């Protein structure tokens, strides 16, 4: 059975990637299962989707814990534990990352046995949630790497799954997908179906007996609003609002009130200040600011500027 995971952010088309690949496998005569998995259904939040394909009926279900291929649309997710990109990878796994950096860099950084391939990142975009064609590119790369899906089968699946879009968009996706498919042809067959665990030789599940713990420990004694402080939701941000203080008129109640996450504080001097640990980058403040004193810049650009400033 082929077991393939796609990791990206809400808006990048990982569900679409899984559906294109799923449909391609199905049209190539495979039994298929494909599904997205999301927690917070929000643009920019980490999501993943997966595809299983086999010649036999598929009984396996749920999250793939031993992937043959992991495709990462957004390389900022690789180092984020909550995104689970590296979960279950071993020497059998191929890791395909859409990145400006090289396979060697990622190999050193991750110190993994998995074989790493790079899907060369295309033009830069302001908003990472809008990486163009990335869903189609990931699906095309995966199709080529398995070496069981023909070019025409991929095109038919892509056309079927994107059928609700305008014809020129579909045509662009098709062209870009085929370019990736042909680029990846040199690695065709690198991704091979994995095996089932054996009942003769398996790791014990390491069960524990659930201990009794009294209510002071085991109840949900988290009543205060402060509990979400520890969760750095600012990591979801793809666009960063930045206050241009010379233009700011100090009507801080407006931006701080409109902020749906309470991530704009008012300083003692009456001017607003953005809490970047928790700002999710929704940009409501940018739209509401009366003197247009809040600008938005791409998060990765902001981070590069910060790195340069501190160097």
Point out which residues bind another protein (CB under 8 A).
Answer: 19, 22-23, 26, 31-37, 39, 58-63, 65, 196-200, 202-210, 217, 220-222, 224, 226-227, 229-230
Nearest residue to 1 via CA among 27, 37, 32: 32
Complex with another protein: residue 19 or 237, whichever CB lies closer: 19
Q: How far is the CB of 120 from another protein (least distance, A)?
A: 30
SS3 239: strand
Complex with another protein: residue 68 or 75, whichever CB lies closer: 68
Cα 283 from Cα 278, distance rounded (Å): 13
Q: How far is the CB of 207 from another protein (least distance, A)?
A: 6
Q: How far is the CB of 26 from another protein (least distance, A)?
A: 6
Six-digit token pair at 240?
Answer: 């960063």
Cα 185 from Cα 176, distance rounded (Å): 14
Q: How far is the CB of 223 from another protein (least distance, A)?
A: 8
Complex with another protein: residue 111 or 198, whichever CB lies closer: 198
CA distances from 281 to 83, 106, 229, 249, 275 (A): 18, 27, 16, 22, 11
Q: How far is the CB of 222 from another protein (least distance, A)?
A: 5
Complex with another protein: residue 230 or 311, whichever CB lies closer: 230
User: Residue 95: beta bridge partners?
Assistant: 70, 116
User: Residue 221: beta bridge partners?
Assistant: none
Cα 298 from Cα 275, distance rounded (Å): 17
Complex with another protein: residue 63 or 287, whichever CB lies closer: 63
């Amino acid at each position: 059975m082929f077991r393939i995971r796609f990791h990206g952010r809400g808006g990048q088309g990982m569900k679409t990637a899984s559906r294109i690949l799923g449909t391609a496998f199905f049209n190539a005569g495979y039994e298929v299962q494909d599904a997205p998995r999301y927690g917070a259904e929000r643009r920019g939040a980490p999501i993943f989707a997966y595809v299983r394909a086999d010649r036999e009926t598929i009984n396996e279900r749920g999250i793939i814990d031993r992937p043959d291929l992991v495709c990462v649309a957004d390389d900022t997710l690789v180092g984020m534990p909550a995104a689970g990109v590296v979960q279950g990878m071993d020497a059998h796994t191929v890791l395909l990352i859409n990145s400006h950096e090289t396979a060697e860099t990622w190999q050193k950084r991750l110190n993994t046995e998995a074989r790493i391939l790079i899907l060369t990142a295309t033009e830069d975009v302001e908003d990472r949630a809008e990486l163009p064609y990335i869903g189609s590119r990931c699906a095309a790369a995966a199709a080529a790497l398995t070496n069981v899906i023909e070019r025409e089968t991929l095109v038919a699946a892509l056309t079927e799954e994107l059928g609700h879009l305008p014809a020129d968009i579909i045509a662009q996706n098709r062209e870009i997908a085929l370019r990736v498919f042909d680029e990846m042809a040199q690695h065709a067959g690198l991704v091979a179906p994995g095996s089932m665990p054996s009942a003769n030789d398996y790791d014990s599940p390491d069960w524990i007996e659930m201990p009794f713990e009294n209510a002071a420990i085991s109840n949900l004694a988290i009543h205060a609003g402060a509990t979400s402080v520890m969760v750095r939701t600012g990591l979801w941000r793809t666009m960063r609002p930045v206050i241009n203080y010379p233009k700011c008129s100090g009507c801080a109640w407006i931006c701080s009130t409109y902020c749906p996450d309470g991530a704009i504080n008012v300083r003692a001097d009456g001017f607003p200040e953005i809490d970047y640990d928790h700002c999710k980058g929704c940009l409501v403040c940018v739209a509401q600011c009366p003197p247009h004193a809040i600008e938005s810049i791409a998060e990765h650009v902001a981070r590069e500027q910060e790195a340069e400033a501190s160097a």
